[in-house]
Amino acid sequence: MSIQDTITNQIIEAIEKGAGEFQMPWHKKGISSAMPHNPISKNTYSGANVLTLWMGKEKNGYCTDQWATFKQWQTKGATVKKGEKATLGFYWHITQLGKPNEQGEVDPTGKKTMFAKAFFLFNADQVEGYTPEGVIETPDLTERLDNAEQFIQKTGATISHGGTSAFYRPATDSITMPDKWRFTGTDTTSATQAYYSTLLHELTHWTGNKIRLDRTKGKRFGDTDYAFEELVAELGAAFLCADLGIENEPRLDHAQYVASWLRTLKNDKQAIFSAASYASKAMAYLKTLDVYPMEIAA
């Protein structure tokens, strides 16, 4: 029986026993104002902008209430990450109506009109080169694993760190990981295992791009194709962790994560076997890559 078959069966056994609820292996805690504000101008946003920015924060999982324009972030020496989308804000522009006199002046006592002008804001979690004010970094609990680092680098995948979310973005063909210091582990895993498992999960998503294995089909969070792709990615992470010696056996975390998506697939037990097949192909593909066959400096 292969490693993949063994792990799949162990995960199924854990699910049948009751895997419990999945725990987030990193913390998203950040200390920030309850009101959206601009760390450059020091102004607090008002009116409908407050609701817009609150919704943007909730939708995207940002941990700060700090927002500024592209140019304002540049004045702080920070740059907006590639592929990040802005959140729309607006302000009222007042124009004096009336015909200008010979000096080009308009009668200030005449009628005025107001119209909305848009501006575009980026959250502090969307930029590089800036540590959000008030956010306290904790000691980095992750340990560097050279064999895993070499394996990951040889894939040639574009990987950046920052913010509080882990995701693969097909539009830019890139992986974003939370800051390493955010990884705390869970009741059943260390911070190191959590970090590499998360990265290998996203790397499995990366293999699904149409220029590679052409597997990723899910477009919307929560739909069945999305759920199936999440099964593939988590099983891929479990297989790769075992193959690289990061874990001796699949953790309960994997079973909990898989179980949460199986519920979206209405507990289709065949789905996990199909996903395991795709995950095996993803691992085999990654192991053929050798884009950077050099030694990685410590």
Q: How many helices (H) and strands (E) does the chain have?
A: 8, 8
Same domain, 256 and 191: yes
Task: Give pTM, 2 decimals.
Answer: 0.68
Place of tokens 């902008």: 49
Same domain, 94 and 223: no
Q: Is residue 185 part of a domain?
A: yes
Q: Is residue 295 part of a domain?
A: no
Same domain, 233 and 180: yes
Q: Is residue 134 part of a domain?
A: no
Q: State residue 231's pLDDT score.
A: 87
Q: Is residue 17 part of a domain?
A: yes
Domain boundary residue among 106, 128, 150? 128
Q: Residue 55 phi/psi, 5° resolution?
A: -65, -40
Same domain, 70 and 190: no
| Cβ within 8 Å of residue 169, ≥6 positions away | 83, 175, 176
CB 278 within 8 A of CB 232: yes
For the chain, what is the domain count? 2
Q: Is residue 65 part of a domain?
A: yes
Q: Is residue 158 part of a domain?
A: yes
pLDDT tens column, 38-65: 999 999 998 888 888 888 887 776 778 8
Task: Kindly state the average pLDDT of the residues 264-275.
Answer: 77
CB 177 within 8 A of CB 166: yes
Q: Is residue 183 part of a domain?
A: yes
| Cβ within 8 Å of residue 190, ≥6 positions away | 141
pLDDT tens column, 78-98: 999 888 889 988 877 666 565
Range of the domain at 107: 48-128
Q: Give the whole-number percent of the chain exceeding pLDDT 90.
A: 32
Q: Report how far residue 39's alpha carbon sits from residue 264's, in angstroms, rounded to the nearest whole number.
A: 40
Quick one: which of 92, 77, 88, 162 has its CA closest to 122? 88
Q: Is residue 214 part of a domain?
A: yes
Amino acid identity of 191? A
Q: State residue 106's pLDDT score.
A: 60
Same domain, 148 and 271: yes
Q: Report how far residue 2's alpha carbon sits from residue 154's, in angstroms, rounded to the nearest whole number.
A: 24
Same domain, 85 and 10: no
Same domain, 250 and 197: yes
Task: Using DSSP, state whether 204 is helix, strand or coil.
Answer: helix
Same domain, 81 and 199: no
